[in-house]
Structure 1
Amino acid sequence: MKLITHSGTFHCDDVLSTAMLKLIYPTAEVIRTRDEEIIKTGDIVYDVGRIYDVKTNRYDHHQRGFTKTFSDKYTNLCSSAGLVYMEFHEQLFLIFNLKRDNEFYERIYNEVYEEYFLGVDSVDNGVIHTSNYRIRSICEVVASFNIYDDEEKQSKRFLQAVELITIDLSNYLTKKIYFYLNDVTNLINLIKKSDNILISDNWVDKNDVVVYEKECNKDIKYIVLNKENKRIYAVPVSKDSFESKVPLKKEWRGLAGEELRKVSGIESAIFVHASGFTGGAVELDDALKMCNISLNDLSKENSI
């Protein structure tokens, strides 16, 4: 099996495509070239060759007239990463024990594209994400592996970048698929039987609550983890937001230990974060009391 992509400067899309394909075909040979005769010999060719043709396993996006997007939902064109993902996702997911007949398969397929591949496709096609601050992206991390004066060293750097992205992609898919195979049904049941406060003996991701509470017609304000110390998390207003629906009580924020217990009157209170997005108590009743007092405080503010 020959996997062929271009030589020279590499980007996140060809690195990510290689990482995927090497997970699926671990013994495959990776060849980096722009020689058209060698390119013709490839079993799978991506990000080079100026051809997009699934039947012959050609996945380039640089040619004139290319218009492929992941779905009608998106206007951003695919890079080689999106194209390879679209064609090989079933084989990729099988490595992580996700089969096509899983009830959440299409949801996972779409979420993985939006969360992991869309950004890579967009950057490679020159679509710039704007905000009032910069987060170092996976594409920038890959770009930093490039050197420009020695093709032999460059090929080694390419494989190093592939190794890094393989680890990251594997970690991401392991966590994502495990959630859907093992945790999602329990989370939905917890949300359905909860009102303002969701109590769980196991870890619950705030972002997952934001997604599934809407589908359950619920409006969860807090998550309380019922472990040795009871940890409180305020649910954000939207997925990945830093703004909480109802932060813990303003007068408690930034306090801990005896000072917090004195101000709050809650005997086992441990701390409240300065922003109010999280806090904790030793006893479950006290953790719930912290949530309910904060909720009542907000109700009083809104009624003024």
Structure 2
Amino acid sequence: MEKQFKRIGTHDGKFHADEVMATAILNEIFITELTRTRDKKILDGLDIVYDVNGGELDHHGIDKVLREDGIPYSSCGLVWNKFGRDVISFKDQALNEEEIDDVFKFIDRNLIEGIDALDNGIWIDKSEVPLMNISSILSGFNPVWYEKNNENKNFNKAVEFAASILNNKINFKISVLKAKEKVIKAYETREIPQVVILDTYCPYIEALKETDKDEEILFVIFKTKTNYLIQTVRGKDGEDRKKLPKAWLGKRDEELAKVTGVSDAIFCHTGRFIAAASSLEGIKKLAQIAIDECHEPYKHENIIAKIIKSVRKLFVRK
């Protein structure tokens, strides 16, 4: 596939994340010549115009185009909606229509929709801790008030940055799809019923959720450049189905080896969700020890137990 040449245009002046990301999207499939202006005569002569001048890719009219969840499209979303599937198929021609649609929806939900919401005045970050988001980061490329003649230069820098974010997201989702076959094979050929062993790390979570319907898998093992890791698997409630043993917590090298009896054990995270060993045999031994460890109740089970205990005390008093 070869890129076609397109003369594209958006407004000049202060720029925002929506037209910056829209430009990055268009650059993925076209060789572009960008004009930033509000002059209608100039814009009318261009091939693609967005976020200005009316038309299908300008969201500033009264009648907003809405998603199913009610979030209105900005120019970014309108451009993605029209050209996004082409961007994905251009990036990986081996993807089928279902996979392209899967990536398209993922990018819209996890990148584009947030930009659209904020550009339409819908504040989506309600955290008490201030968090930077893609919209504030891209808007931050605007020249400060006392800088002169840097607007287009800074806009192009913002587009370059936006393109890296867009490509990283697309590449990640494609990598998830490509990992699916590997995860399914590891699941179906596993030696230990509660453990999936991968010969290398790949994004396994989504494929494992689809495959492990009965939630049998407690741990995933995979090889890194230097050692082997065991990682816990979370259930539908967001909690680890089983944490690594308390006795391992924060221990390293000889101390961990002494506690576990595994000579090449390297470390266990203080969160008890990941541990390492130098060899496959060593990490499998750690997995078996963790499986054999007595069940540790989830937080909600502890709460229920406390409630029952309190109720019993009331009856005893009566």
Fold agreement, TM-score > 0.5 = yes
Match of 2:150 among 150, 153, 164: 153
Q: Check conservation: 2:11, 2:37, Cα contact below 8 A.
A: yes
CA distance in 2, matches of 1:237, 1:206: 14
Structure 2 counterpart of 1:22, from 1, 16, 27: 27
SS at structure 1 position matched to 2:217 = coil
Query: Who is 1:201 aligned against?
Result: 199
Is 1:79 the equivalent of 2:74?
A: yes
Are 1:4 and 1:32, in contact at CA under 8 Å, matched by a contact in 2?
yes
1:274-293 matches, within 5 Å, as 274-293=270-289
The aligned counterpart of 1:46 is 50
Question: Any residues of structure 2 matched to 1:236-251 within 5 Å, and which?
Answer: 236-237=234-235, 244-251=240-247
- The whole-number CA distance in structure 2 between the counterparts of 1:275 and 1:8 is 48
Report the RMSD for the aligned CA atoms in angstroms: 2.6
Q: Superposed, which structure 2 residues align to 1:129-208 within 5 Å?
A: 129-147=125-143, 149=145, 152-180=149-177, 182-194=178-190, 195-208=193-206
What's the CA shift for 1:217? 4.3
Q: Once the 2 structures are TM-superposed, how far is the Cα of residue 170 of structure 1 from its aligned partner? A: 2.1
Asked if the contact 2:179/2:207 (under 8 Å) is kept, the reply is no
**Could you tell me which residue of structure 2 aligns to residue 55 of structure 1?**
none
Is 2:119 the counterpart of 1:124?
yes
Distance in 1 between residues matched to 2:148 and 2:48, nearest whole Å: 22
Pick the aligned partner of 2:10 from 5, 8, 11: 5
Aligned mate of 1:253, from 249, 252, 264: 249
Residue in structure 2 matched with residue 66 of structure 1 by the alignment: 64
Aligned to 1:198, the other structure's residue is in SS state strand
Tell me, yes or no, if structure 1 residue 111 matches structure 2 residue 69.
no
Aligned length in residues: 290
Rounded Cα–Cα distance in structure 2 between residues aligned with 1:116 and 1:211: 23
Instruction: Pick closer, same or farther for the CA change 1:193–1:133 going to 2, 3 Å.
Output: farther
Greater Cα shift, 109-118 or 131-140? 131-140
Q: Check whether the contact 1:19–1:166 (CA below 8 A) recurs between aligned residues.
A: yes
Amino acid at match of 2:14: T
TM-score by length of 2: 0.81
Identical residues among aligned pairs (%): 27
Larger Rg: 2
Is the contact made by 1:148 and 1:154 (CA closer than 8 Å) also made in structure 2? no
TM-score, reference length from structure 1: 0.84
Q: What is the CA distance between 1:147 and its match in structure 2?
A: 2.1
Structure 1: 5+ residue runs without aligned partners?
53-58
> 1:56 is matched with which residue?
none
Residue segments in structure 2 that go unaligned for 5+ positions in a row: 1-5, 306-318
Match of 2:309 in 1: none
Deviation at 1:301, TM superposition (A): 4.7
